[in-house]
Amino acid sequence: MRDDPPGSDARPGSVPAATPLTVPEIDEILAGLTRSSTDLVREWQAEQRRAEELNERSESEIMERAEGQGHSYGAESVALSVHLRLANSRAKESHDAARKFVCWWADAAVTAWTAVVHERQVTRARLGAAAPETLLADEDMAVLPAVDAHTRGLGVRSVSRRCSNGFCQRR
């Protein structure tokens, strides 16, 4: 049994959500985000190159068929089309994942910079708040700073601007 007081935000094996991070801890978190962002961007670039290579092969085959060479329904031709579709899908998903991760890194970096400039403390929960593919625990949500009306308004205007052109899509 743990000796945490009732209502404590402590969890086994973790730092309490409201505990301020030290400068070295923030530096390590940002360094990890930098390394991971770089890896994800490289993976996306590799996926993109693969898709481009397959696309070039597919276009060459289309030109050959237009000149009367090759077969439209040959196994290799159809397989190439399948591989191209899969490669394009992986390239798009890799791009989206890298973009979201880099946005998280940028949010964490700006948050850390703002904390230093304004001599404020920052918590692990705040640096992790924008992490993609992650759900925050209730105790982490409870220690996040409130969003002021001005910032909330910026988000609303951004969404309404994107949707005003008739291309707003639900994700």
The low-confidence residues of the chain, meaning pLDDT below 50, are 1-13, 162-163, 165-171
Question: Which pLDDT score is estimated for 152?
Answer: 78
Q: pLDDT tens across 107-127, in order?
A: 999 999 999 999 999 999 999
**Domain contains 104:** yes
Question: Which pLDDT score is estimated for 15?
Answer: 64
**Domain contains 42:** yes
**Domain contains 147:** no
Question: Which pLDDT score is estimated for 32?
Answer: 97
**Domain contains 16:** no
Long-range CB pairs of 140-143, under 8 A, 24+ apart, other chains included: 140/17, 142/9, 142/17, 143/9, 143/17, 143/18
**Domain contains 14:** no
Domain that holds residue 110: 23-132
**Domain contains 109:** yes
Question: Which pLDDT score is estimated for 60?
Answer: 92
**pTM of the shown model:** 0.73
